[in-house]
Structure 1
C-alpha cells in the first residue's frame, strides 16, 4: 500500500479522535498601531527572546490539526527539544496509532517512524515529511514559531513581518509565505514569560492549528 495512503488513513482516525478537542473560537485583540505602544511591545518581545535563548531544552504537549488541500485530521502532539535535537510525536488516542519524527537543527536530515514498511530516513526532513504524508510544513521554522518567535535563520524573503495586539503580545508574523497567528497565550509564570497557547498557521491550501496544554522548560 502507498505510504501516503497509509498516513491519510491514520489521519482519518486522528480526526475522529480529536474533533471534540478543538474547543470554542478565541477572540483576539486588535492590532497595535500607536508607535510608542509598538515600541513597548517590541521591547517585551525582545525580553522574551532573551529568556528563551537561554533555555535550549524544552517541551510542550497539546493537540494539533493539519489540513492540506482538504485532507487532514487531528490528534495529540508531544514536542521535545534538547538543544538542536528534536522529537515530534503524533498519536491518535482511540486507535493507538502513532508516528515519530526526529532530526537535528544543524542538519536537514530526519527520520520518520510509525509508517507501514518501517522507518523512513532522508537528507531533507521537510521533503521526507511531504513525500510520506502530503504535509508541506516548515518544520525547522516551527521550532521557533511554536514559542512565539520569528525564524531568525530564514532570510530569503527578508525579515519576518510582526504585528502586536493591544495587550502588547505578538499577534501575528509573516514568513516564508506563511501567516502565523497567535490566538491565545499562557500568562507569565514566575520568571517564565508569556507563552503561546493557541496558534494557527496558514499558507495557500495548507493550515496547521495547535493548542498547547502545557509548556516545560529545563533550567539553563
Structure 2
C-alpha cells in the first residue's frame, strides 16, 4: 500500500467537513447578465500566478480521506503539497505541461508525463490535476484537451455548476479576494470519484 493511501485512510471521517457524499442536487438557474458574468470568467481565467491553502477530501466509492493542501501555480508550472496532521505524513506533486514528479511515496519519487495516470496508479485516487488548476478558479479547462465546458450561473452571475470532461463541479461558496471573486468551496464529481476542496486563503501573487 502506498504511503499516500496509508496516511489518507485514517482521516476518512474528515470527509464530513464538506457534507455528505451524495450527489449534489442541480443548482437552480437564475437570470444573469450574461455579458457581465462572462467578463468575470475572463478575469478569473487571466489569473496565471496564484496560490491557495485549504483542506481537501477525496473519495472513490467506499474509500476516502482528507488532509491540508497548499497549491502554488505559475503559468503551467504547479506545486501541490498535501499533509495529514494526525499521521504527520506528507507528499509533494510538482510539474508542468511536460510531466510531473511525485515525492513522499513508498519506494521513492515517481515521475511521469501523465500526472493523472501516475496519481491513480500510485494512490488509487482519480484527481484531474491539470483541469483542476482551472476549475478551482471557476473557469473551464482548455477545450482542446478536455472538451467544451458547460457553465450554469447562479446568484450574482457566479458559476454555480461547471460540467466538463465527464466531471461535474459544484461551487457552493465564494471568497472576496479584491477582484475577482474566487471559489471558497467546491466539489468535483465523476461517477464514484469525488474531490472536495475548501479554500481557506487565496493569494493572487506567486508564493515565495
Q: Note the 1:52-131 alignment, pairs <5 A.
A: 52-104=44-96, 106-107=97-98, 109-131=99-121
Paired residue for 2:150?
161
- Which residue, out of 38, 41, 45, partners 1:49? 41
2:193 equivalent to 1:201: no
Unaligned 5+ segments in structure 1 are: none
Q: Deviations along 1:113-160, whole A, 9 cap, x unmatched?
A: 00122111112111100100111222110000000001133456x421
Q: State the SS of the aligned residue for 2:156.
A: coil
Equivalents in 1 of 2:186, 2:7: separation in Å?
23
CA distance 1:70–1:19, change in 2 (3 Å): closer
Paired residue for 1:172?
161
Count of residue pairs brought into register by the alignment: 203
Contact 1:145 1:151 in 2 (8 A): yes
Question: Alpha-carbon deviation of 1:177?
Answer: 0.7
Structure 1 stretches of 4+ moved >4 Å: 27-30
Q: Deviations along 1:59-90, whole A, 9 cap, x unmatched?
A: 00000000013212011010000121001111
Q: Could you say which structure has the larger radius of gyration?
A: 1
- Which residue, out of 126, 130, 138, partners 2:128? 138
Paired residue for 1:186?
175
Paired residue for 1:7?
4
Instruction: State TM-score, norm by structure 1.
Output: 0.82
Between 1:6-15 and 1:55-64, the stretch displaced more is 6-15
Instruction: State TM-score, norm by structure 2.
Output: 0.87
CA distance 1:87–1:14, change in 2 (3 Å): farther
Q: Deviations along 1:7-64, whole A, 9 cap, x unmatched?
A: 3221123436x457x1668x9995225xxx34x1x32333223333443210000000
Equivalents in 1 of 2:192, 2:27: separation in Å?
26
